[in-house]
A and B are shown apart, each in its own frame.
Chain A
């Protein structure tokens, strides 16, 4: 345990709730913004495509924020940041569920035959679906009860799947872009950076 932590005063309950509310609000903001724009008819000429893209991009961004929490907590010596991993991770899952729903329900209009064909034929959809399916057990076992039931070690091994899921999301994005690959590459670079920190950290601890 780091000495700074013992010395630090625990924040009051009010402060704690305030910070939690801010994190919630930050995670909800893109959704509220999309809903607002959507209701105002302000999502452009092709609102369905815009909605699907935006929900997907925000899901990916929140996944990356979730991966950034551990390094941030360590680098800035703020161990209590760790508790937001669950909040951010579940919000990421929610965005991805909405992303998938807007594609299956709104774009395909529940044409499940077409959905199945897409999954089999289109690599970017295959990979996206795979990432989504792998996210489900992580969302389900995100509660304290499941951590206790599974035991910390097994739980952590399961949640290590996130290191596979996030690059699936990045490749899913990369494969659907027509010409300008800079945005998905930028997300990929952020992922590599966060993974690089983990590798460095592990080596550092062994020394």
Chain B
């Protein structure tokens, strides 16, 4: 596969047999436990996974990754999600996958985790605000999930919808954004091997503030494209509306690929502060993933389609 040939993937990152076998025993164990996870907020549980495509850069500390978040459903301050997300119940949890497909379905999160081969992917994450992190996600390619519903030829885009539950998401008491949070991708972006559905972080199930139990990660786009706590995925023929774009269309485009040459109207995107570092560093086109994804946009004027 294209991604496996990546130069920043070394021999020792290929799944070792021990891991592979452990994964099998984990699955057997999980099956034995059956409905153990039913009901209530899930505590962080270890996941079993193989090592996938990853950057060599040192990951941002777990503390920073889990306490500095933009998740407006829990408040607008970076510290709000960590403080307020504890109330969110992520079990039981189902995801509806529908729209332009032959086999729409509703699937439970446990089944989703069991049915997919989990990989750890250490990705750079660049926030549209000008800071970045390196995050060890655990998840599976979105394309694997989409394949299960058999998209039709009319499926040109994929729309994502976040949970609306004001009783557990205090930020939704105020219309800072037009809830539910919506995001979207073009179908070729959605089926790109780098596009990940994350269920874990640092080897364990996702903390609520990071988008539990299921979130999107698109490493070459600004972080807000990664919809969190997803309850619905819809294949569409038309480009779907997205939350930030509706709030400020001039500032947040549908594509929102990381691009140092196209500034946010109110600030420069040329540099970023990597969390944990002092000096700003240069921002890379497509967040450094250009060799894998630039072809998706061949012939497009990225200043127009920002």
B176 touches A114 (CB 8 A): no
Q: Which residue of B lies closest to A109 (CB)?
A: B279
Q: Do B64 and A45 touch across chains, with their CB atoms under 8 A apart?
A: yes
Closest to B67 in A: A45
Instruction: Check A46–B280 contact: CB distance below 8 A.
Output: no
Q: Which A residues are in CB contact (< 8 Å) with B280? A: 107-109
- Contact of A180 with B76 at beta-carbon distance under 8 Å, contacts A49-B131, A107-B280, A122-B267 already known: yes
> Across the interface, do B129 and A178 meet the contact criterion of CB distance under 8 Å?
yes
A137 at the interface (CB under 8 A from B): no
Partner of A44, one of B76, B79, B247, B267: B79
**Cβ-defined contact, B266 with A175, below 8 A:** yes
Q: Tell whether A187 is near chain B: CB-to-CB under 8 Å.
A: no
Kindly list chain B residues whose C-beta atoms are within 8 Å of the C-beta of A45. 60, 63-64, 67-68, 78, 275-276
In the assembly, what is the distance between CA of A124 and CA of B267, in Å?
A: 9
C-alpha gap A182/B77 in the complex (Å): 12
**Among residues 102 to 136 in chain A, which have CB atoms less than 8 Å away from a CB atom of chain B?**
107-109, 114, 117-118, 121-124
B104 to chain A, nearest CB (A): 33
A-chain residues with CB within 8 Å of residue B156 when the two chains form the complex: none
Tell me whether A148 is interfacial, beta carbon within 8 Å. no
A122 contact from B174, B177, B266, Cβ within 8 A: B266
Name the A residues within 8 Å of B275 (CB-CB).
Answer: 45-46
Shortest distance between the CB of B238 and any CB in chain A (Å) = 25
The number of inter-chain residue pairs (CB within 8 angstroms) is: 49
Residues of B within 8 A of A82 (CB): none
The answer on a CB contact under 8 Å between A114 and B268 is yes
B123 near A: Cβ within 8 Å? no
From residue A115, how far is it (CB to closest CB) to chain B in Å? 11
Is there an interface contact between B266 and A124, defined as CB atoms closer than 8 Å?
A: yes
Instruction: Knowing A49-B131, A117-B268, A118-B268, say if A180 contacts B64 (CB, 8 Å).
Output: no
B245 to chain A, nearest CB (A): 13
Inter-chain contact B76/A179, CB cutoff 8 Å:
yes
In Å, the complex CA distance between A180 and B267 comes to: 18
How far is it, in angstroms, between the C-alpha of A121 and the C-alpha of B267 when the chains are bound? 8
Interface size class of A (residues with CB under 8 A): 20 to 34
Q: Name A179's contact: one of B78, B79, B176 (CB within 8 Å).
A: B176
- The answer to whether A176 has its CB under 8 Å from any CB of chain B is yes
A190 at the interface (CB under 8 A from B): no
Which single residue of chain A is at the shortest CB-CB distance from B133? A45
The answer to whether B273 has its CB under 8 Å from any CB of chain A is: yes
A117 to B270, CA, bound (A): 12
Is A27 an interface residue, CB under 8 A from the partner?
no
Q: Which of A121, A176, A179 touches B177 (beta carbons < 8 Å)?
A: A179
Task: Decide if A123 touches B68 in the complex (CB within 8 Å).
Answer: no
Chain A's closest residue to B247 (CB) is: A179
Closest Cβ of chain B to A187, distance in Å, is 16
Contacting residues, chain A, for B247 (C-beta < 8 A): 179
* B222 sits at the interface (CB 8 A): no
* Cα-based distance from A109 to B280 in the complex (angstroms): 9
B72 on the A face (CB < 8 A): yes
Interface contact A176-B72, CB-CB below 8 Å: no
Contacts of A31 in B (CB 8 A): none
Most chain B beta carbons < 10 A, residue from A45, A107, A123: A45
For window 1-48 of A, CB contacts with B under 8 Å fall at 44-46, 48
Q: Name the A residues within 8 Å of B63 (CB-CB).
A: 45
When distances are taken between beta carbons in the complex, the residues of chain B under 8 Å from A180 are 72, 76, 174, 176
- Chain B stretch 59-100: residues in CB contact (< 8 A) with chain A: 60, 63-64, 67-68, 72, 76, 78-79
Q: How far is the CB of B45 from chain A (nearest CB, A)?
A: 25
Closest 8 CB pairs of A and B: A45-B68, A45-B64, A180-B76, A179-B176, A180-B176, A45-B275, A46-B131, A122-B266
- Which residues of B pack against A, CB within 8 Å? 60, 63-64, 67-68, 72, 76, 78-79, 129, 131, 174, 176-177, 247, 263, 266-268, 273, 275-276, 278-280
11 extra interface residue pairs, beta carbon distance < 8 Å, beyond A44-B79, A182-B174: A45-B60, A45-B63, A45-B64, A108-B280, A114-B268, A118-B268, A121-B263, A122-B266, A179-B72, A179-B176, A179-B247
Q: Chain A interface (Cβ within 8 Å of chain B)? A: 44-46, 48-49, 107-109, 114, 117-118, 121-124, 175-176, 178-180, 182
Q: Could you jot down 7 A-B contacts, CB within 8 Å?
A: A45-B63, A45-B68, A46-B68, A48-B273, A179-B76, A179-B247, A180-B76
